[in-house]
Amino acid sequence: MEDITNMNRRHALIAYILIAFTLVLALIARAAESRTGSWTIGASDEPGKVEFALMYHSKQNNSNHSSDWPKNEFKGVDFSKSGKQDIKFAIARDAGKFDCEGFLDNGEGAGVFHFAPEAQYVSQMSALDFTGIDDDKQFSMAILDVSVAYAKDMKSLNIKGLDTDKLIAFRIFNVSRDFVEALRKAGLPATDADKLVAFRIHGVTPEMVAFLHQAGYQPDEDTLIAMRIHGVSPEYMQQLKSDGYDHIDLQKLIAFRIHGVSADFIEKIQTLGYKHPDPDQLVAMRIHGVSPEFISGLKSRGMKDLTVDQLVSLRIHGID
């Protein structure tokens, strides 16, 4: 009987050791998953917000995320309090939680954070076909607040090419349901993830699309992006219209901006007697350096009444 009792004790001891070992492994794994870094809070130009930065450094990765956050995200922090104060706050996101502590001094401060990833987040996102979320991406998605609800919302819009990286880019550049639906209402398909990000980066807006449609244009998405890159804005088009250049082909307007055909250039050319050169002539003049000063110089030497093509030819052949 004593042998059986001793055997049971040994078995129980082994079981306790195994349980303890398992708990230690779990704690080690959790420690490996968590991240510790530093944070800063500074003044923001936007009312009701502060500039919040999170810095994390390791042998494998360095990251620095800084953006304007609403003050109400920092639960329990009194930004109106003057002087120095010790603070603790937590920021909970679907992707994980940031436990922060440090100080504020007249609304600005710094401290350290501990980030604990949410264990269910990766599987929840994978169920929506947003895969490939490693530790670094989950950390970034927590900072950017790429929530499960946001992922579902974007997925429901039937956007082509929308993967995890594009979803993160959507959050960075503020591609929202309202933005997509406004573009569609203005007459664009707005179904390509890359194009939507490019729209946000370069400033293609629903208002711009509506203006162009009302003016009789039907630009494709690449043309809209090119227009914004080169500065073909509704304001620029209105300036040209006042100088007699209305409803110019959009590709020619882009060429205008690339080569420097401005309303000021057109008006100076017109005062020298060239009332309405066609768009291709204006571009050729700018490419070859037919400037108002060049024309004035020729006139002062008696070379008057030259055509635009003659002026361009003189510059091509090196006549100054």
Reported as a single tens digit per residue, the pLDDT across 221-239 is 999 999 999 999 999 999 9
For residue 294, being part of any structural domain is answered with: yes
Please check the confidence at residue 29 and state whether its pLDDT lies above 60.
Answer: no
For residue 83, being part of any structural domain is answered with: yes
> How much is the pLDDT for 318?
87
**Pair 215, 247: CB distance under 8 Å:** yes
Mean pLDDT across 151-174:
97
The domain in which residue 43 lies consists of 34-117
* Average pLDDT along the chain: 89
Please check the confidence at residue 19 and state whether its pLDDT lies above 50.
Answer: no
Which DSSP string corresponds to 97-153? EEEEEEEEETTEEEEEEEEEE-TTHHHHHHTTT-----HHHHHHHHHTT--HHHHHH
Q: Look at residues 145, 142, 153, 151 and name the one whose alpha carbon lies nearest to residue 118.
A: 142
> How much is the pLDDT for 6?
46
Q: Which of 201, 229, 257 is the last residue of a domain?
A: 229
pTM score over 0.85: no
220 shares its domain with 249: no
- Give buried/exposed letters for 127-137 (b at 16+ CB in 10 A, else e): eeebeebebeb
219 shares its domain with 241: no
Tell me the C-alpha distance between 261 and 141, whole Å.
Answer: 44
Place of tokens 């917000």: 49
Tell me the C-alpha distance between 315 and 320, whole Å.
Answer: 7
Reported as a single tens digit per residue, the pLDDT across 33-64 is 579 999 999 999 999 999 999 999 877 778 88
Mean pLDDT across 77-83:
93
> How much is the pLDDT for 33?
54
- Mean pLDDT lowest among 2-6, 80-84, 128-132: 2-6
Reported as a single tens digit per residue, the pLDDT across 300-317 is 998 888 999 999 999 999
Total number of domains constituting the chain: 4
For residue 299, being part of any structural domain is answered with: yes
